[in-house]
Structure 1
């Protein structure tokens, strides 16, 4: 009989020979002194008849226990407490096989010793030796040991895109997406993996909930030593807020032309007020993102939009002495009817007397009202039936109070001059949100088609089901499908979040190399086929901060956690700056 002191410290037990064993799963009978948690990594070795030593690496997926000899509930007391009946407690752990090294399709031997996978064994279990594209920490396990992802599946070399799913407010989708961006853009490890293009890599982040993301450059006031230790486990000993961030907010709705613009971001009044001048709106063809509903695009209304978009570009001339404004003239500056050819060159500027001056969205509506008149001299309807033309006009005019304030003079373009560009859209109407997302993301995508894969462009967007729904059509949905299918080769990588992957266009949730799940709704869990049955059930009980990651390099999804953010994620989290503290002291002393 083996003395208990002779058992190695990392030994857990032996493979259960009374249960079925295969190349995918096996059960371990735990030693009396062994303690094991879910998600721990284990290793079992055996020598084949040929003399080859094979190691099976696995992850603990479940634990069970039974008192052998107990047939009735009352037998438990007699065996375990009073010891008046014979019996023995048996504890087992269920193991899913992650890897066999060398790669031989053989099942482990019954009775073989199973131990905790530590050091080199842990690295083998997580395929770290095969991450030739470099590895980046994407979280840590129960023991705060880092979990890594293969960077070649994040930067588009072998794969790209990240899909994050989970219940709103509980799954911490946005928090995890920001953590990934932080690891890529702000840590020495991430910048080293980006290589020479690191300084030019950019991320476009849409703020869709409150003003939560408008303070990423400020320290989190609740970052204590224990939480710093979480970052230290990921080799980030001194976590700081995002160091290179620009913030953009839309103007407040209303106001006459010429009045001073006011930012809608109340907690970030210094944010740049963004929008589109009439000239940019017309030359970039952004009218297509005004009508994004499926019923608009699947009817002749969509055809009218295409005709009007081209005609606006043909008849629009820059307004002399007022950059951004245009003059709609009777005589077109191009004979082409193809939008791309029309905007291929910039026409000469003209004076205000040459035609109808457009300085904002309402001026544009006046132009369309005249130009779409079937009895007028310049009909832009494309010989479409009058009822369809009126339907188009009704839709466009209904957008005036929803997004009209975004198209006007005096606003600034969203330019990605810093590592992270945060664009606030949370207070906008749904139609305006779709317009902003479509206009900015299409701009990024079109720019990358002309510049090559590097430097990379990341796009982070929550509520993806709103912009790329599973059913329907439209330019916005088609844009995200195109990015999902071609984006990685162009260096445009989507970090998309959604409550339910089943509501998002299938390519957008199928193509991402990294699939992340937080807390899932029980009615939706069955949709996530890449999860094991045990993880699908567990995911309905995850606490905030716990995620499960599926990546191509590791065949079984691995649960993980991620550290507390060093940057503020809402107004109340931001630590006071020295200037704010001094201002508060001065105000107190003035009382």
Structure 2
């Protein structure tokens, strides 16, 4: 909280220290002994200089990142036992990281220049918010409770894009903060009149994100103080969401989950949310073949021969899908095409040439690999000329394992419009993809397949009609620092080219040092929550001061540090308890089910 009376902003709370060097990037303050200057307080000072015979005042704005107190006049620690008999002076100093110089003359502040608190407009100058044409509220300053902003130009692609969020699982507020940023970007863009944004959220742990469209009862029962904090951040959030008991339902939110295993019924595999409000996410074999999803079936650890074989077969499947689509145009136009047709020479009936599921696919490859059948699209002799029979058998073993992981996802009782609804996200819509109950190979398959399709569509159609924000947790699992894989290639492509194509990535991970360098380097906004002592010393966090690193090791939930391009120092912020439910037991259920909880919406009626 702000410990200062408002009048303190009008008087100096110290002077620029003269016993330590001041530079254009930092200086020290000799703090007034009566003033309780805090970490993260914002301050300013000025120096007068002559330029071409004309006197100008140069102002320096900055953030306090270290505060010290000690006695001068003591020689030994044991002198404290005799402090009453020794003449001493109290030393109260603070270190300031300069965030802005105005006008931009890169000179140091003058020693003994008075230092003032930066409040109001001067606080906004300190954090760079006054130059942000478009800004997203990011939280509250830990010291002053002033609103801290993120420059929207560096998120939505205008000047930069992508957000990287790092921190220990469970206490770093990664998911909640990422979801909040995603929603605020969409909300503020809609208020600007830009209704092209939509969002894709992958729920990778439990069923927590299947309730984000519901209000959070704990906010009203246990964390009422957070309601006031939300009002400080944005009165609109309080009036349009909290007061009317809304979660994220201001936008249409669609939930998708894979079908249940070991049943022929096409029902979503959810246990906590009512399955009637969750749509099934599944693929038919035509989608699998046409879009080259076989790439995401093979593990990153596979040898290069197996990967090469997978690539060859994937190309053959895409050719099959193309010919099948031309032959069965009516089925394709009605989204009823759920198979591909082979060109096996020995098979006479069209029905016997159809591959409808994984099991058909494996049997087909067994015939091709053994040489008992011949197909002009995937030829045995082309494979045998370059690869050993053991490689073919290894590939078949992987596909047999695939039945266990993907058998309930790739099936013949699925029309093409199911997958299309997932990837053809309408602007102003949020799609939540629940993959938390899938084994890791299946999670990778679903994430890779969906991202590949969305990125391809954006390449073809451009960003004028639709821009997609993707939130993906556990990013290090999909784009690790070492190695290569098809899904990592897509995520790196999004990081490098997504800005121009209208694909924005909000990635969360426990440690940035384990994620692809290309993704971290291309993320304009970096957000860090609580960190392990080992991780925080990695080079990815060199922009943090030693004091900030120490604070991150013990940071409480709801505290994060934000780094952005046009603010020259990281800013610690406070993020309140979420107003949307993050799990089932947090869902607020109004006593009057028929009561009108508000009709506010940013989405245009069609």
Question: TM-score scaled by structure 1?
Answer: 0.87
Query: Alpha-carbon deviation of 1:72?
Result: 3.5
Deviations 1:334-393 (A, max 9, x none): xxxxxxxxxxxxxxxxx9744333332222222222233234333644333212111111
Moved more, 381-390 or 273-282: 381-390
Aligned partner of 2:308 in structure 1 is 303
Instruction: Compute the displacement of 1:190 (Å).
Output: 4.2
Indicate the residue corresponding to 1:587 in structure 2: none
1:27, 1:93 within 8 Å by CA — same for their partners in 2? yes
Question: Is 365-374 or 393-402 further displaced after alignment?
Answer: 365-374
- Tell me the residue number matched to 2:570: 557
CA distance 1:13–1:371, shift in 2 (3 Å): same
Report how far residue 85 of structure 1 moved.
3.4
Q: Are 1:361 and 2:369 an aligned pair?
A: no
Partner of 1:222: 218
- 1:137-216 aligned within 5 A: 137-142=137-142, 143-186=144-187, 189-192=188-191, 195-198=192-195, 200-216=196-212
User: Which residue does 1:427 correspond to in 2?
Assistant: 437
Matched, 1:408 2:404: no
Moved more, 311-320 or 484-493: 311-320
Q: Name 1:263's counterpart in structure 2.
A: 268
Task: Give, in whole Å, the separation in 1 of the partners of 2:507 and 2:474.
Answer: 8
Q: Distance in 1 between matches of 2:351 and 2:206?
A: 45
Decide whether aligned partners of structure 1 residues 8 and 508 sit closer, same or farther in structure 2, where only a CA change above 3 A counts: closer
Matched residue, 2:371: 374
How many angstroms does 1:508 deviate by? 0.8
Q: Deviations over 1:134-158 (max 9, x none)?
A: 1121121123211111111011111
After TM superposition, give the deviation of residue 517 of structure 1 in Å.
0.6
**Secondary structure, counterpart of 2:370 in structure 1:** coil
Aligned residues: 546
Aligned-pair CA distance for 1:126 = 1.5
Q: Does 1:290 align with 2:297?
A: yes
1:385 paired to 2:388: yes
Do 2:291 and 2:318's aligned partners in 1 also have CA atoms closer than 8 Å?
no
Q: CA deviation at 1:305?
A: 1.3
Counterpart of 2:599 in structure 1 is none
1:216: Cα distance to partner?
A: 0.8
Alignment CA distance shift 1:69-1:315 (3 Å): closer
**Alignment partner of 1:241 out of 235, 242, 247:** 247
| 1:484 maps to which of 480, 495, 500 | 495
Secondary structure, in 3 states, of the residue corresponding to 1:137? strand
* CA positional deviation for 1:96: 1.0
**Distance (Å, rounded) in 2 between the aligned partners of 1:286 and 1:474:** 13
| Distance in 2 separating the partners of 1:531 and 1:7 | 29
Secondary structure at the counterpart of residue 176 of structure 1? helix
Q: How does 1:474-513 map to 2 (within 5 A)?
A: 474-513=485-524
Deviation at 1:92, TM superposition (A): 1.1
Residues 276-308 of structure 1, C-alpha deviations (whole Å, 9 max, x = no match): 011111111111111141434xx1212211221
Assess if the C-alpha contact under 8 Å between 2:152 and 2:185 holds in 1. Answer: no
* 1:253 counterpart (255, 258, 261): 261
Cα separation, partners in 2 of 1:8 and 1:61, compared to 1, 3 Å: closer
Q: What is the alpha-carbon distance in structure 2 between the residues aligned to residue 488 and residue 518 of structure 1? A: 25
Partner of 2:598: none
Residue 530 of structure 1 aligns to a residue in which SS?
Answer: coil
Task: Specify which structure has the higher proportion of helix.
Answer: 2
> Cα distance 1:89–1:327, how it changes in 2: closer, same or farther (>3 A)?
closer
In the alignment, is the contact (CA less than 8 A) between 2:339 and 2:354 conserved in 1? yes
Contact 2:189 2:197 in 1 (8 A): no
Kindly provide the CA deviation profile for residues 533-568 of structure 1, in whole angstroms up to 9, marking residues without a partner as x. Answer: 322222112111111111001111111121221110
CA contact (8 A) 1:315 1:331 kept: no
Cα distance change on mapping 1:556 and 1:352 into 2, 3 Å = farther
CA deviation after TM superposition for structure 1 residue 77, in Å: 5.4
Secondary structure of the corresponding residue to residue 569 of structure 2: strand
Matched, 1:531 2:544: yes
Query: What residue is the counterpart of 1:41 in the other structure?
Result: 42
